[in-house]
Each structure stands twice: as C-alpha cells, then as structure tokens.
Amino acid sequence: MPTMKADELFSLVQGEFSRRGLLGRILEMHLLGNAYSVRCDMDCFSLYRVNQRPHVPPGMPGWTVCRLSAAECFSLDASEKTCPEPASPQSLHEARAWVERIISALEKFNR
C-alpha cells in the first residue's frame, strides 16, 4: 500500500462521502466492537468514539479518535491506546487504517 500524504488521504475519504451523498452528515457506526460518530465535510473528516459507559458525568461523552484535513492528521491506533505524533508517518498510517474501515462500513449507508 503506497504512502499517502494527509491531503491525499483527506481527498480520498471526502470523495467517498461525497459520492455517497453523505458529505456533511453525522453517521453513527459500530467498528471493532465500539460506537463511533463519523463526519466528513469540505473542511475535515472526524471520527469520534462514543463513550457507552452508563455513569459518565456530563461533558465527557467520548473522545476524538481520528481527525484529518488537507493540513492536519491526528489518529489513535486501533486499540485507542497509542497516539503517534500528529502528521507523523505513523499517524498517517493509523489514519489510513481508520479511513479504510470507515469506507468499508459506508456500504450500509448507500442510498
């Protein structure tokens, strides 16, 4: 799999959302046994883990797992325990893995 820059990866995921008519929509997905909120618009792609524990205080509903734009790349790994340096090759690798999971999951949102 060839290495992509943040802008190329963002363009790929943005194109997939746009092609499916999902650009700007907030989607709820289950991946790797967890609930996520996913959104892609003209400015960025974001993947947000929804905290499903019942006794979480207000203001702590979840956390950002991946955020990607033409100029930035932040991504946790699949276990959500490792946070590579933003925009590093490792962060881009992890972001690409999330993007690929999301693109696969988008099939159920097709019209």
Which tens digits make up the pLDDT trace of 35-78? 999 999 999 999 999 887 767 665 557 889 999 999 999 998 88
Picking from 11, 29, 8, the residue whose alpha carbon sits closest to that of residue 106 is: 29
Q: Label residue 109 by pLDDT band (50, 70, 90).
A: low
Compute the distance between CA of residue 21 and CA of residue 25 in angstroms, rounded to an integer. Answer: 9
* pLDDT recorded at residue 17: 95
What the block records as the tokens of 60 is 């702590």
Q: How many CA atoms lie within 13 A of 86 on its CB side?
A: 10
The residues facing 34 across adjacent strands are 31
Lowest mean pLDDT among 40-44, 51-55, 82-86, 96-100: 51-55
- CA-to-CA dists, residue 61 to 36, 48, 54, 100, angstroms: 11, 10, 10, 25
Question: What is the residue extent of each domain of the chain?
Answer: 6-109
